[in-house]
Chain A
Amino acid sequence: MPITFQLNGKKQTLDVAPDMPLLWAIRDFVGLTGTKYGCGMALCGACTVQVNGEPVRACVTPVNSIAGKSVTTIEAMVETKVGKVVRDAWIEAQVPQCGYCQSGQIMSATALLVKNKKPTDSDIDSAMAGNICRCGTYNMIRGAIKDAAQKLA
């Protein structure tokens, strides 16, 4: 039974196993590989996408649960108003090192800034707590979020 949803603003129909995580559906079947696999258990945040504007972990989200919903991935998020500012802040601060976690970091940061124009350090800690970075770019991430918040103010 094909599943239809909005992906990055376009209608997307996929005929895949209904329990297939959204992560593998968009990577293997749509070919968008900016969303990363890191743990498969919603522990690391590398696979963060937005479903109806909320950050979710695509690695544990069955594709049939998003039928009729709207999914945004990193590829389109950085073209949105807030996403673009966040990306520019990331480049300005030279945040990424290996970069593998950064799609997820940017997705979580964008979700935070859409809702909270002036995040405090503790807002940042809680919004970003689900995103692991093994290169330890956390302080640069914090700086870039604050910089983006200023530019959005």
Chain B
Amino acid sequence: MTLIYPVASNRVHPARLSPAYRSALKRSPQKPLIPMRHTLSELTGPVYGHETVRAHDNDLTIQAKGEPLGERIIVHGHVRDEDGRGVPNTLVELWQANACGRYIHVVDQHPAPLDPNFTGAGRTQSDADGYYRFITIKPGAYPWGNHHNAWRPAHIHFSVFGHSFVSRLVTQMYFPGDPLFPFDPIFNSVTDAKARARMISSFDLDNTKPDWALCYRFDIVLRGRNATPMETK
């Protein structure tokens, strides 16, 4: 299968300079990016060995001696390409704040407690169908310095690779119905409402585990289309 990566697919992404997001002002190029045809350097990408992901790296609730505090959740979904095919065996990494909205990162000084039993980092590899699954704790919202009374909606950071180096995606997964959505310049840097909605997980009752954990589904769509027309059944 040979995939192509139309540059037009990038239009859903935020403008690099989204002025409401203050940190972007000095960290976005002012000169135009230079278009180029993809070569093998862009069309290939890293392959991971089994040494990259360990057996329980996708369960963030069993990394310490005790159980982390907060609401245990299942986050799962499929990594797909633009034609809807599952992206198999691709690395999915996540990191997040704890239930109180605090990251273990030393720079995070939000006066909320750290959880000695929660790191907030996980990784997994999608299966042959592109399916992945994590068990974690629902992260809390937290304040940040972008503007007066700025709070980030609860989110989980995702890093995904896909079939090539140009399908690389770093994004954030949000939770349905968050009241902070209208006020968040990072979420709203995506100007198309339908595209924004693709960053919001959906509550998944069918896969909620009774007496144990709520489930959220987050499907991730990466760049890449088959150059040949899809066969119809």
Q: Do A and B come from the same complex?
A: no
